[in-house]
Chains A and B, each alone.
Chain A
Amino acid sequence: MIDLKHIVKAYRTGKVDFQALKGIDLQVKKGEYIAIVGPSGSGKSTLMNIIGCLDIPSGGEYLLDEQPVNTFSSNQLADIRNKKISFVFQAFNLLPYATAYENVEVPLLFAGMKGRKRKNRIMEVLAQVGLANKIGNKPTEMSGGEMQRVAIARALANEPEIILADEPTGNLDSKSGTEIVDIFDDLWKAGKTVIMITHDLFLAQKTERIVKLKDGLIENNGNLA
């Protein structure tokens, strides 16, 4: 499903060039549950952004379902982020002025889903994460755990195949964090491909495979001892 071949990503900060990724080779099969771990600055988020088509690699090849991503137009990449791949962020990244209902509605609007079908889908995914009774609440009226659940519901709205989660429990207490992890477990069991960045080794060991990054390279690609 995902095939990264010698992926390089370089940034220019002022006059200084910085290589965040120095040659990543990684394959992810459909339905896998993967954790990406590593110290700060190892390139985890950069790798996630490239997998999620939010960023373009400076070198190498990225094949998504055997299609070269670097040949896609910006509209095609947007459509991939809308329908095939979705994101869950550490900081939730909900629209602060919109209700839970309206936040989940956003990707469905971009997908062009019409009226009643859209409404039904929103209610379905909010119920799936246990927030059917919070549709009218804005982020300021919800707990951290509830906000992350809305973010997950939003990520599930267009039934993507791949879910990318960047430290989804990083801003949550342990109880809320456990609830969120359980949701990801359920999603994986339902057939989704889940790739998660985490510092939490306990969480990482719940996944099928752990990919450890260090200094922009894969140090370990398998279970941590």
Chain B
Amino acid sequence: MKPLIIYNVFIRDFRKQKKRITLTLVALAWGTISIMLLLGFGEGLQQQLSINQKGLGEGIVILWGGQTSIPYKGLGKGRRIAFTPEDIDFLKERVPELKNVGGEFSHWGTNIKYKDKVLSEMVAGITPNFKQMRNHIPQMGGRMIDEWDMKLKRRVVFLGDKIKQKLFGDEDPIGKQIFVNSIPFTVIGVMIPKMQMSSYHNMDENITSIPLTTFQAIFGRLYLDDIIYQPYSLKHMKALKKRVIETFAAKYKFDPQDDRAISVWDYVESTRETNNVLMGIQLFLGIIGALTLLIAGVGVANIMYVSIKERTREIGIKMAMGARRAYILWEFLIEALIITFLGGGGGMAISYILTEGFKRIPIQSEVLNFMGRPTISLDIGITVIIILGFMGILAGLFPAMKAASVSPVESLRYE
């Protein structure tokens, strides 16, 4: 049917059922806003948590030495397994699939002093590749620990942003001297503030980091607290983990099946599990929203049934003029879709305005930093359009089929 005729019919119907159609449009808009805001909340949460998860690092696995629990090749159980700094290069050579391997010492309750400010905080001795693995990104004007710092065992320090605030306030610390256990160190950089969802000893913002070699020289420690590795590819993580353990098992002579000998935190796996939970939450929110929208669809079906009843005679006239049943069906189906997309379109526009407006409000809040703000992505828009289309078809199809099945003779008699 000519689009103009369909439009004219729709306008005529609207005038005759103004209140009913308006209420249905409002219900559709409301249902659309509900589903879009719910999905938008889920999307914002997922995006923010994804950023927050990177606070600890990306694609990393953390290893700690433990204690054997299985006798192995003549050696008894209960032997302590501890990593040395040489294990870093050892692992890198033996497992070429690893892009980065780094190590860490940590010492709690270290005195850190600047002018008259004295703190008792954690100091970590780290390798330069913590920049890539643990996202120790320096603020503008500073730098992270590098290979020369390691080679020359320089007394340089990279501050967590909260430590910097406590010691220096708003003063620029780069190039300034602080004392770590009464030993002078030069500040070379400050970490950019980051959201960190998890940690294994302390939040990075509270850590004072120095070169691993410098730490060993000052504190005289032999064994690392942990080794961290980052593979080139995140595929086959399980197989890679097995190889790493077997590599150390061969060196330190423990049973590779002994899961107490080395403790492993596969952060990739943890991230994946968190993402699955987030997807589940988003799916749940989407279902709730879709159910709300579906109720509005009932309103559309109601409108269509009333419209068809009032236009029974008109259907008969068209059939007498030679309209096939399919034409009648399509005419009413298209009307249902027009109503659905008018209401839905209004709802989408309002949702977009609300979320964009909310993003622009300058609220600083821990909750928002953790959970993010509602975000309407293209995927959400497409999903909602598909749901609206499906619902419009469903709401319009049964009334349209009823219209197409009327007897032309009976409908011509209808008053």
On whether the two chains bind one another, the answer is yes
Nearest A residue to B322, CB-CB: A82
Restricting to A22-74, which residues have a CB under 8 Å from any CB of B? Answer: 49, 52, 54-55, 74
Of the 9-residue stretches B1-9, B138-146, B256-264, B342-350, which lies at the interface with chain A? B1-9
Size category of the binding interface on chain A? 20 to 34
Nearest A residue to B5, CB-CB: A102
A79 at interface by CB-CB < 8 Å: yes
Kindly list chain B residues whose C-beta atoms are within 8 Å of the C-beta of A49.
409
Kindly list chain A residues whose C-beta atoms are within 8 Å of the C-beta of B321.
81-82, 86-87, 106-107, 110, 154
- Considering the chains assembled together, what is the distance between the CA atoms of A106 and B316 in angstroms? 13
A75 at interface by CB-CB < 8 Å: yes
Taking a contact as CB atoms under 8 Å apart, the answer to whether B5 and A111 are in contact is: no
Kindly list chain B residues whose C-beta atoms are within 8 Å of the C-beta of A81.
319-322
Kindly list chain A residues whose C-beta atoms are within 8 Å of the C-beta of B8.
97-98, 102
Q: Is the interface of B mostly helix, strand, loop or mixed?
A: helix
Q: A95-B314, A102-B5 are in contact. Are A111 and B409 (CB under 8 A)?
A: no
Kindly list chain A residues whose C-beta atoms are within 8 Å of the C-beta of B2.
105, 109
Taking a contact as CB atoms under 8 Å apart, the answer to whether A75 and B324 are in contact is: yes
CB proximity of A111 to chain B, nearest CB, Å: 7
Kindly list chain A residues whose C-beta atoms are within 8 Å of the C-beta of B5.
98, 102, 109
A75-89 interface bits toward B, Cβ cutoff 8 Å, 1 = contact, 0 = none = 100111111001101
B398 at interface by CB-CB < 8 Å: no
Size category of the binding interface on chain B? 20 to 34
CB proximity of A137 to chain B, nearest CB, Å: 15
Residue from B8, B9, B320, B323 whose CB has the most chain A CB atoms within 10 Å: B320
Residue from A78, A83, A105, A109 whose CB has the most chain B CB atoms within 10 Å: A78
B308 at interface by CB-CB < 8 Å: no
Taking a contact as CB atoms under 8 Å apart, the answer to whether B324 and A74 are in contact is: yes
The answer, among B317, B327, B409, for a CB contact under 8 Å with A55, is: B409
CB proximity of B365 to chain A, nearest CB, Å: 55
Q: A83-B322, A87-B320 are in contact. Are A109 and B1 (CB under 8 A)?
A: yes
Residues on B facing A (Cβ under 8 Å) = 1-2, 5, 8-9, 12, 313-314, 316-327, 407-409, 412
Residues on A facing B (Cβ under 8 Å) = 49, 52, 54-55, 74-75, 78-83, 86-87, 89, 93-95, 97-98, 102, 105-107, 109-111, 154, 158
With A55-B409, A78-B324, A102-B5 given, can you name 7 additional A-B contacts, CB distance below 8 Å?
A78-B319, A78-B323, A79-B322, A86-B321, A109-B1, A110-B323, A111-B322
Sampled A-B contacts (13; CB under 8 Å): A54-B409, A75-B326, A78-B323, A80-B322, A81-B319, A81-B322, A93-B316, A98-B5, A102-B5, A109-B2, A110-B323, A154-B321, A158-B322
